[in-house]
Structure 1
Amino acid sequence: MHSLIKPEDTWLLLGFLTGWAAASIYLEQKYRWAAKISGAVIALFGALILANLNIIPAESDVYDAVWTYAIPLAIPMLLFQADLKRIWRESGRMIVIFLMSSFGTVIGVYLAFLALKDRIPHLDKIGAMMTGSYIGGSVNFAALSAKFETPGELVSATVVADNVMMALYFFVLMAIPAFSFFRKHYPTPHIDDFEREAGKNPDAAPSSFWRRKEISLKDIAFTFASASVIAAVSFKLAEIFDGLIPSGDQASFLMNTLNGMFGDKYLMLTTVTVIAVTVFRKFFGNLRGAQEIGTFLIYLFFVVIGVPASVPLLLKNAPLLMVFVFIIVFVNMAVTLITGKWLKFTLEEALLATNATIGGPTTAAAMAAAKGWDRLIVPALLAGIFGYMIGNYAGSMMGYFLHALL
């Protein structure tokens, strides 16, 4: 069926993609109802509605350009803070509980896959995406959906299910410190400190983490140039390794595994970025705006994945996917709280670790700021960034493992 805007109307479609991504960000930051829904879902549903009304086309080279260029540029930009030395120095303790929480994600994906693999198609691919997403974040979700070529309607349904679950999850997460059971069984030094300060000064507000940042033309130029060079080097290296390391039905399991690790462009992109950022930490540490630009590019991805989504298929798949992500989130939280208690972590550290895996670095830092746990803001943020680093590896390995179980 023909659409009002034709696939070859490049500038109209580009204007729609960037405009709607910008509008989604504005609504999320301006209105509480939009923040509860999340900008990602607003971006997805706007495109879904217009595509199903045949206003925009279901396929176009403009959409392909987002997969081809925007995502590979977003990945390094969002990893420019991933200095391994700094992460361990400032967040070593948080990283330990974060890894336990990540292990909870892997267990949760495995159990959810076993329970629903006969009910949901391509669940191995969805499991890979959610492993990466619930250890890292949206950038890992985007990279793994591209890597495993997950059907667009399932990607859209997964985003919807994920965001509904996230709303419920954050409500529970923010409420847990108020329950006496958890205060009784876990040390809560940061909560106690905040309550003492609040008692002395009732008008004191939690510290503000989000603020407008200075950014220069040089920052923008170096951000795009660095991301482009890293992507070019990474993809060329992956191409070389893919040609050198045999793969396929005739190759051994070891060779296929090595090809998957070194011949995959997204894993190589992650590896090269982390090495570059760790070696040249001063250069990348001084760049401003990379996080914001990278996040905007990810919003373009959310608009694009809403385009091919069919409303009937979305309504059919989203409820089952809700069950799938619920199992993952529940197991993640349970493993985090149990291991946190066993390893004598504080309640605040355990809650921020599970938040950093399920929600990502920004939500973890925002929770620490909102709760007044000032000393945990940076560790929570860095733990989430560490998740960006390992999310693609964990998701890829899980995808291959789950596919073998089908």
Structure 2
Amino acid sequence: MSDSIIQPDDTWMLWAFLAGWAAVSIYLEQTYKWASKMSGAIIALVGAMLLANFNIIPTESPVYDTVWSYVVPLSIPLLLFRSNILKIWNESGRLLVIFLLSSTGTVTGAIVGFFLLRDHLPVLDKIAAMMTGSYIGGGVNFAAMSAKFETPGEIVSATVVADNMLMALYFLVLILIPTVSFFRTHYKTPYIDELEKNTDNNDNLASSYWKKKEVALKDIALAVGTAFVIVGVSFKIAEFFDGIIPSGEHVHFFLNVLNGILGDNYLMLTTLTMTAVTVFPRYFESIHGAQEIGTYLIYVFFVVIGVPASLPLILQNAPLIFVFVLIMVCINMFASFLLGKLFKFSLEEIILSSNANIGGPTTAAAMAISKGWTQLVGPILLVGTLGYVIGNYAGTAIGVWLSHF
């Protein structure tokens, strides 16, 4: 059993914390200027991180898995009800370029970290493969690389702990960057400028953006009902393609890519939602409140991101793995901001692309929502999900190459 005050199987108390703290974070963000500047996402994440580290809540629980499995997929279609596919296509092209440039930072970080620490860490080539896959794609790629390279279980567990801590900390850094005057001076910020232009100086950004709207019971019913249908149909289609298109180590490259695109739940979900919105624009535009419900669900997800970042576990099991992962994150950040500046990308595009590399498409979309950069939610979900396809190939290449040293 866990030694936390609230036990992992205490489902109602954990849901009370997740849902309640998400609500408190939104309330603080919209009520106080200091909280608006900090952002509700940081309040949600840091609160969970502190409670987990003080052993109030457990660092692992089936409740957290439920958030990843059900809450996050439901939030995605709700947040894409206003997505114009033509507009998104234009934005996705730009984001894909900076995402790939950011990925070069991940690969470089893995190589630099390996040669700095290979004499101090066993099986570092396997860790490098897992983290390269994860920091271009996501948890799916981490799992695939750990299975492919047969990484020992205790090393996998220690790496997961270090990765969770780093991801949460980096998430905080990325959320704070737009408030730093150096970045505002040296990078263009079209989405932030647009938000500030439409905001009353006496108001905080969050409360101005989330003004009261008329929402009827019918809106809530259609929004939630439609989201459930889209998720169910999308995941079923993805499961069908995943079953009929072969994939794996000994399968042709093209078939692996095809399976990665058509058999991926999130990519299918994003594509199907945007197609439905484009084909039936009037229906989706008539539904009020979908963005509000979806955003609340994303805040519940923010709370869950902060939970696994356990400092005692890192100090116990994985201090050097933490250093290796830190090197990867720092070099990804450096490459993203340097190449982003060089190729004239906006600050918002650079932040979301680096986030999509390190945290995956869901954390990047969550950040775009929390910052009010709603035009970038669909594009970063698409681009980040394509990272799942690229991640396995990059991770495999790094793992095979570094195993020769």
After TM superposition, is the score higher than 0.5? yes
Aligned residue number for residue 339 of structure 1: 343
1:401 aligns to what? 394
Which residue is equivalent to 1:137?
Answer: none
What TM-score does the superposition give when structure 2 sets the normalisation length?
0.71
The equivalent residue for 1:78 is: 79
Residue in 2 that maps onto 1:324: 328
Is 1:145 matched with 2:139? yes
Instruction: Give, in angstroms, the shift of residue 405 of structure 1.
Output: 1.5
The answer to whether the 8 Å contact 1:157/1:314 transfers is no
Give 2:279's aligned residue.
Answer: 279
Q: State the AA in 2 paired with 1:398.
A: G
CA contact (8 A) 2:132 2:398 kept: no
Cα gap change, 1:230/1:43 in structure 2, threshold over 3 Å: closer, same or farther? same
- Deviation, 1:393, is 1.0
Letter of the aligned partner of 2:350 in structure 1?
Answer: T
Q: Distance in 2 between matches of 1:61 and 1:285?
A: 36
Give, in angstroms, the shift of residue 165 of structure 1: 4.6
Offset of 1:362 from its aligned partner? 9.1
Match of 1:155 in 2: 164
Q: Secondary structure at the match of 1:81?
A: coil
C-alpha displacement at 1:31, in angstroms? 4.3
- Of 221-230 and 383-392, the range deviating more from structure 2: 383-392
Amino acid paired to 2:221: A
- 8 Å CA contact 1:24, 1:40 repeated in 2: yes
1:391 match: 384
State how far apart, in whole Å, the 2-side matches of 1:28 and 1:130 are: 30
The 5 A counterparts of 1:165-180 are 165-168=174-177, 170-171=179-180, 172-176=182-186
- Give 1:73 deviation, angstroms: 0.7
Aligned residues: 352
Q: Which range is displaced more, 54-63 or 256-265?
A: 54-63
- Aligned-residue offset at 1:115: 2.5
**C-alpha distance in structure 1 between counterparts of 2:82 and 2:296, whole Å:** 17
Q: CA deviation at 1:364?
A: 7.7
SS in 2 for 1:151: helix
1:228 CA drift (Å): 0.8
Quickly say closer, same or farther: Cα 1:221–1:328, change in 2 above 3 A: same
Matched, 1:12 2:13: yes
Give the equivalent residue in structure 2 for 1:229: 229
Deviation track 1:293-348 (CA, whole Å, cap 9, x = no partner) reads 222222222322333332134574666555433433333333333333xxxxxxxx
Q: Which amino acid aligns with 2:105?
A: G
Percent identity between the two aligned chains: 38
CA distance change for structure 1 residues 363 and 213 in 2, over 3 Å: closer, same or farther? farther
2: CA distance, partners of 1:352 / 1:58: 31
Q: Contact 1:153/1:308 (CA < 8 Å) preserved in 2?
A: no
1:33–1:248 Cα change, 3 Å? same
Q: Do the aligned partners of 2:130 and 2:141 also contact (CA within 8 Å) in 1?
A: no
Alpha carbons 1:76, 1:227 under 8 Å: kept: yes
**CA 57–245 in structure 1, closer or farther in 2 if over 3 Å, else same:** same
Distance 1:251 1:311 in 2: 41
Residue 105 (structure 1) aligned with residue 109 (structure 2):
no
- Judged with a 3 Å threshold, the aligned counterparts in structure 2 of structure 1 residues 109 and 286 are, in CA distance, closer, same or farther, namely farther
Separation of aligned partners in 1, 2:223 and 2:127: 36
Gaps of 5+ in 1: 133-143, 183-187, 192-196, 198-202, 341-348, 368-376
Q: Is the 1:158–1:321 contact (alpha carbons within 8 Å) kept by the matching residues of 2?
A: no
- Root mean square deviation of aligned Cα: 3.9
Per-residue Cα deviation, 1:364-391 (whole angstroms, up to 9, x for no partner): 8999xxxxxxxxx9xx742453222222
Shift in Å, 1:271: 2.2
Deviation at 1:16, TM superposition (A): 0.9
Q: Distance in 2 between matches of 1:270 and 1:131?
A: 19
Given that residues 41 and 370 in structure 2 are in contact (C-alpha distance below 8 angstroms), is that contact kept between their aligned partners in structure 1?
A: no
Counterpart for residue 372 of structure 1 = none
Structure 2 residue aligned with 1:212: 211
CA contact (8 A) 1:357 1:384 kept: no
User: Structure 2 unaligned runs (5+)?
Assistant: 118-123, 144-158, 356-363, 400-405
Contact map agreement 1:47 1:307 (CA 8 A) in 2: yes
Partner Cα distance (1:123, 1:32) in 2: 42
Query: Given residue 308 of structure 1, which amino acid in structure 2 is its aligned partner?
Result: P
Change in Cα spacing, 1:205 to 1:4, as seen in structure 2 (3 Å) is closer
Residues 1:278 and 1:112: Cα distance change in structure 2 (over 3 Å): farther
Rate the CA distance shift 1:245–1:62 in 2: closer, same or farther, 3 A: same
CA 366–251 in structure 1, closer or farther in 2 if over 3 Å, else same? closer
Distance 1:352 1:60 in 2: 33
- CA distance in 1 between counterparts of 2:376 and 2:49 reads 34
| Alignment CA distance shift 1:33-1:402 (3 Å) | farther
Contact 1:152 1:305 in 2 (8 A): no
- Where does residue 370 of structure 1 map in the other structure? none
The secondary structure found in structure 2 opposite 1:4 is: coil
Change (3 A) 1:382 1:248: same
1:207 Cα deviation from its structure 2 partner: 12
Q: CA deviation at 1:233?
A: 0.8
Aligned-partner residue type, residue 219 of structure 1:
D
Per-residue CA deviation, residues 265-301 of structure 1 (Å, 9 max, x unaligned), is 2222222222222222232233333333222222222
**Inter-CA distance 232–362: structure 2 relative to 1 (3 Å threshold):** closer
TM-score by length of 1: 0.71
- CA shift, 1:9, in A, is 2.6
Matched residue type, 1:113: A
